[in-house]
Structures are given as C-alpha cells and as structure tokens.
Amino acid sequence: MPTSRDPGDLLQGTLRILILKSLLLGRAHGYAISRWIEETTDDVLRIEEGSLYPALRRLQDRGLVTSEWGLSENNRRARYYTITRAGRALLRAEASIWLEYSHAVARVLRAEPSIA
C-alpha cells in the first residue's frame, strides 16, 4: 500500500499497479511487461525483473490476471498474461488512491515556503 512505511510493501504495491497497467494494452508475456515498464518509466523505476514473476503468480492467485501458453512473436513458447475484470477494477481503485496521494504530496511540496 502506498501508505505503508515498509519499502517492500511499497514496492509490491507499485509493482502490482505497474503490471496491471501494462496489461491494459492487451495480453503480454513477462518480458513484454518488464520492457513496457522500462520504457514507460524511462527506467526510473528500475525493478529486478525476476521479482515480476512471483508478483504475477500472486495476481493470478487473487484472480486479477489469468495466464495461458502461446507462441511469441519469434515463434517461441511463452506464457501470456491477461488482466481480468477484477484486475481492472482493482487498478482503477488503486490508481485513484495513488493519484490523490501524489497530488496531496505535490501540494504539500509546493506550499510556501518553497523548498529550494
């Protein structure tokens, strides 16, 4: 949760949102998800790619994504993940909390006196 002080929780919560958001574009395999995150965040939120997979399993256990085997663009066997309806709903709810939170933080930081 974004409100938690535990960096692990913060990371997981963030990772969850990143994964779900990436899947809004359509089904994708793990590598595609990590590439999307990389490009969208300009590599700012650098995540350890390996942690993506346990996170995906957790999402799947909670019914937020589903998976199936398919063929990749270069004809290799790959596992594809798809966001579920519940996943979209959760993403919406969490996104609004995040936005609210970051707005609040931004307001605080912009308030007088200026930091700089």
- Closest listed residue to residue 52, CA positions, set 85, 79, 73: 79
Q: Which is nearer to another protein, 37 or 90 (CB)?
A: 37
User: What's the closest the beta carbon of residue 77 comes to another protein, in angstroms?
Assistant: 6
Among 41, 57, 99, 105, binds another protein (CB under 8 A): 57
26 φ/ψ sector (left φ>0, alpha ψ -120 to 50, else beta): left
- Closest listed residue to residue 52, CA positions, set 74, 76, 20, 77: 20
Among 12, 14, 67, 84, binds another protein (CB under 8 A): 67
User: What's the closest the beta carbon of residue 5 comes to another protein, in angstroms?
Assistant: 24
- Closest listed residue to residue 53, CA positions, set 33, 77, 39: 33
Note the residues at the interface with another protein (CB under 8 A).
29-31, 34, 48-51, 53-54, 57, 61, 67-69, 72, 74, 76-79
